[in-house]
Amino acid sequence: MSVPFALFTHCGIYEARVQDTFFVADQPLDDGNGNPPAGWGNPYQSGTITVTGQRAVFHDDLGHTVTFHERPGATSFLKLCA
């Protein structure tokens, strides 16, 4: 089931937290300067996320899709963004 989700994009698209589970992007996205790629919102992109097992998939109305995989046992993000 898809639920509304605001994906944090400010320093690029690397991770997502869904409830208490941390996920890392299968293919991180940025513009090469630590920002989201062109066409993405900053600091967030609104859309939906669907979690199935250890996988989460983000979609938005602009056609963006990002697939994430779970980091079992993670309690924080790998990278903090200023």
Helix (H) or strand (E) holding 34: none
Q: What is the mean pLDDT of residues 45-65?
A: 98
The model's pTM:
0.94
For residue 79, what pLDDT is reported?
A: 84
What tokens were used for 14?
A: 């690397």
Cis amide leading into 36 (omega within 30): no
pLDDT tens sequence across 63-82? 999 999 999 999 999 988 86
Please enumerate in sequence order all residues whose Cβ is within 8 A of that of 80, keeping only pairs 6 or more positions apart, or say none: none
In the chain, the percentage of residues whose pLDDT exceeds 70 is: 99
Domain residue ranges in the chain: 2-70
pLDDT level of residue 15 (50, 70, 90 thresholds): very high
Distances (CA, A) of 37 to 34, 58, 62: 9, 15, 13
- Mean pLDDT for the chain overall: 96
